[in-house]
Structure 1
Amino acid sequence: MTTLIKRASAEARAFNKTKAAPKAASRRSAAAADDLDHAPVIESPRKPRFAPVTFSEESGVRYLHFGTEWVQGAMRLSKPNHIELEYAQQMMAWLLFLATPARIVQLGLGAAALTKFAHRFLRPAKVEAIELNPAVVVAARTMFDLPYDDARLTVRELDAWDFVQDRANHGTIGALQIDVYDATARGPVLDSVAFYRAVRACLAEAGVATINLFGDHPSFVRNMKRLNEAFDGRVIALPEVHEGNRVALAFSGPALDVTYAALEKRARVLEAKLGLPASQWVKALRASSGQDGETFTI
């Protein structure tokens, strides 16, 4: 990969600033000092610190990084609405099981590949992306062709934890795509049982969550264990792709019992209409399920 193109950012400047020396406090009377000693301490909320957002380009593909060589997203310059990375394509595997739902949400914006694709091709769904780092939102719009908000698209600067805890979101989302990584890119930054239970609560009566995990890392086993606990075992992870990622699918609603023939038929429709490699997903499901026979059950 080419050398990272380093960009100035508010975060980078903040890291390099030296703290100003505190001003000497004025003298206080003994009585005033005593009052202050017993006054309640009010702490201002701490702002999160983010790694700088950086970019690289190679062979017609622009990559997003968080100040390291780890790829956080990608866009082929000649096909800005195409999903470039294989694992990101797999994050759309919920389409094998659901018609386009009323509401699709991404937790973690990255290079906005999923958000752009859903907004462009999955009408009339309302698409919402949740991203904590404002610099990532700016990068998505200026470097990765993410449109500005409209009647069907909303991008919110918000912590994914706060989003899933908000009861207003519970039971409202058909497809929830989770890709919450920091600069180290070695596992999701939100991975507790409580988080995954809240994710499940956000899903509609029949809904699917897709979660980007890092296969070659201890966090994978931990996340799968917690996902299975939160979703009562209704979780399956697709085989690892060449980027090292593994995508897990977690299901809510009634039990699924569908033939592979029906899934293959659905996959051919998705390939024809959306250009997604859906037949490969069916093969991956069959390989990962550990089930004999011609029916996928979960």
Structure 2
Amino acid sequence: MSNKRDNNKKVDWVDATLSEFDGVRYLHLDSIWVQGAMRVKKPERLELEYIQRMMVWMLWRDSRELNQGQAVQLGLGAGALSRFCRKQLKMKTTAVEINPTVISACRHWFHLPDDDERFQVVNADAGAWVADADHWGTAQVLNVDLYDHDAAAPVLDDEQFYRHCRAVLADGGLMTVNLFGRSASFARSAARIALAFGSDQVWHLTPTREGNTVVVAGRGVSVPEREVLEQRAATIESRYELPAQKWLKLVRPLPMNIINQIRD
């Protein structure tokens, strides 16, 4: 979760709240909307389907290089992606979260580790963080999941923001973004991403049952041959217990109506 901060005003943050059902702990922001989840007995597992799909970038990278470089999450949620990248992939990991109550909840209730040389949680505005040139070219992976307590649309979603996201990526880096694919805003958001990254550098997965669509954008990447993708998917499934072979069936290029919108 993230929203823009006005440093000249006192901010009353929406409190992070919890619920628990059938062994799964959920994070909320004073609403019924789920901002993240963790299976209590398996905290390193990615519980929500769309969160699993945020790892689809792994298909674009050589399996031998998955743990190389830095992973950055914009929006901490329940810390699932941050825990996974740090613990399972053993990547240097940075999470940027503007709401201090979310960070506190993750520390106390969602097994978020303390900061160390490989892991850091930054209490900051995600838009300002990616706009800082000191961070440009530093990440191989960027996960973007920025929704407020209403969960209606991404809080940061303009072309300049996505251009800054691209700048944060090193050459060959990949970004995944959570969008609501069944709403009218999906086409607008996907077009903005394509304008920032180039339409040949953007793909998406078909929506989940809940309507979440994960968009993938690369900085100078190419889609490997099908045989290579299938080998990588099999490795991801056996090593990390993620449904990567299913992802292969769901990946699509940008729809022509979005590409035409960009050209116009």
Taking structure 2 as the reference length, what is the TM-score of the superposition? Answer: 0.89
CA–CA distance in 2 between the matches of 1:147 and 1:282?
32
CA–CA distance in 1 between the matches of 2:206 and 2:182?
11
CA–CA distance in 1 between the matches of 2:31 and 2:204?
27
Counterpart of 1:60 in structure 2 is: 23
* Equivalent of residue 248 in structure 1, options 215, 234, 245: 215
Counterpart of 1:7 in structure 2 is: none
Counterpart of 2:3 in structure 1 is: none
The runs of 5 or more residues in structure 1 that have no matched partner are 1-42, 292-298
2:224 is paired with a residue whose SS is strand
Please report how far the alpha carbon of residue 48 of structure 1 lies from its aligned counterpart in structure 2 after TM superposition: 3.3
CA–CA distance in 2 between the matches of 1:114 and 1:204?
20
1:258 is paired with a residue whose SS is coil
Q: What letter is aligned with 1:243? A: E
Counterpart of 1:120 in structure 2 is: 87
Instruction: Please show how residues 1-298 of structure 1 align to structure 2 within 5 Å.
Output: 45-98=8-61, 99-100=65-66, 101-123=68-90, 125-233=91-199, 234-254=201-221, 256-285=222-251, 288-289=252-253
Q: Residue 139 of structure 2 contacts residue 168 of structure 2 at CA under 8 Å; is this kept in 1?
A: yes
Please report how far the alpha carbon of residue 50 of structure 1 lies from its aligned counterpart in structure 2 after TM superposition: 2.4
Q: What letter is aligned with 1:284? A: L
CA–CA distance in 2 between the matches of 1:73 and 1:290?
27
Larger mean Cα displacement after TM superposition, 79-88 or 93-102: 93-102
Deviations 1:148-202 (A, max 9, x none): 1112100010000111011111111100000011001111100000000000011
CA–CA distance in 1 between the matches of 2:225 and 2:7?
56
Please report how far the alpha carbon of residue 253 of structure 1 lies from its aligned counterpart in structure 2 after TM superposition: 1.6
Q: Residue 15 of structure 2 contacts residue 102 of structure 2 at CA under 8 Å; is this kept in 1?
A: no
CA–CA distance in 1 between the matches of 2:166 and 2:198?
10
Q: Residue 235 of structure 1 contacts residue 249 of structure 1 at CA under 8 Å; is this kept in 2?
A: yes
The structure-2 alpha-carbon separation of the partners of 1:222 and 1:48, relative to structure 1 and needing over 3 Å to count, comes to farther
Q: Residue 186 of structure 1 contacts residue 219 of structure 1 at CA under 8 Å; is this kept in 2?
A: no
Please give the root-mean-square deviation of Cα atoms over the aligned residues, in Å: 1.6
Runs of 4+ in 1 over 4 A off after TM superposition: none
Q: Residue 103 of structure 1 contacts residue 127 of structure 1 at CA under 8 Å; is this kept in 2?
A: yes
Larger relative contact order (CA 8 Å, sep ≥ 6): 2
CA–CA distance in 2 between the matches of 1:264 and 1:155?
34
The structure-2 alpha-carbon separation of the partners of 1:290 and 1:154, relative to structure 1 and needing over 3 Å to count, comes to closer
Counterpart of 1:10 in structure 2 is: none
Larger mean Cα displacement after TM superposition, 61-70 or 210-219: 210-219
Q: Which of 1 and 2 has greater Rg?
A: 1
Deviations 1:197-238 (A, max 9, x none): 000011001110000011222221211110111111121111
Q: Residue 187 of structure 1 contacts residue 217 of structure 1 at CA under 8 Å; is this kept in 2?
A: no
The runs of 5 or more residues in structure 2 that have no matched partner are 1-5, 256-264
Deviations 1:223-271 (A, max 9, x none): 11101111111211110012221100001124x1421221011011011
The structure-2 alpha-carbon separation of the partners of 1:44 and 1:189, relative to structure 1 and needing over 3 Å to count, comes to closer
1:184 is paired with a residue whose SS is coil
Deviations 1:87-112 (A, max 9, x none): 00010111111232311100000100
CA–CA distance in 1 between the matches of 2:244 and 2:7?
49
